[in-house]
Amino acid sequence: MALFRPSVGPGSGASNPRKFSEKIALHTQRQAEETAAFQEVMMDITSTRKLVLPVRN
């Protein structure tokens, strides 16, 4: 029985190095944007916690 593999064979995205490098660039850009958004949320949480939690001695 044959298995269907859309990423293997002629015409796949991995067969064209230019398209593959473009996909990597898009993935890297998307990851950087998501990381920046995550860090912004974490900074907001940190500043909120500093306002809410009492200082421990």
Domain count for the chain, please give it. Answer: 1
Q: What is the pLDDT of residue 36?
A: 97
Core vs surface per residue 5-37: b (16+ CB within 10 A) or e: eeeeeeeeeeeeeeeeeeeeeeeeeeeeeeeee
What is the C-alpha to C-alpha distance for residues 13 and 37, in angstroms, rounded to an integer? 29
pLDDT of 33 = 98
Q: Does the residue 21 lie in any domain?
A: yes
Q: If we measure between CA atoms, which residue out of 7, 32, 35, 30 comes closest to residue 19?
A: 7
Is 35 a member of any domain? yes
Residue 3 within any structural domain of the chain: no
- 38 is a domain residue: yes
pLDDT of residue 26: 94
- Residue 44 inside a domain? The answer is yes
Which residues of the chain register pLDDT less than 70? Answer: 1-17, 52-57
Structural domain that includes position 38? 15-51
pTM: 0.53
Residue 16 is predicted with a pLDDT of 66
